[in-house]
Structure 1
Amino acid sequence: MSQESKEKVIVQLTKVFRQYGYEGATLARLSEATGLGKASLSSPFPKGKEEMAAAVL
């Protein structure tokens, strides 16, 4: 995934975390918001939701 693509994904992740909080930001919601499958979403964020949350801060 290119840096530009990752930045676009982070924008969408930010929206989900803001709307639902950490607990409510399920992988299903994060996947739907980014348009990526769960496996594809895990590729740039191998540590999962914790790493995604850190990226939006």
Structure 2
Amino acid sequence: MFGRKAAEKLDDAAAALHRIGGGTGDAIANKVIAPIRRRVDTDCTRCSRGKCKEHN
């Protein structure tokens, strides 16, 4: 349904929420972004770009 570019945008938005909001940002990302991101059949795009702090 969604492609790599959508996955990049969603991953970057979730990372920004985490940086800015901490625990509250994580809660927002989990409620809003996670359900959409689960529909994308692409691995973490931040990992492939060397920007992921969660998986690396």
Q: Give TM-score scaled by structure 1 length.
A: 0.48
Q: Which is richer in helix?
A: 1
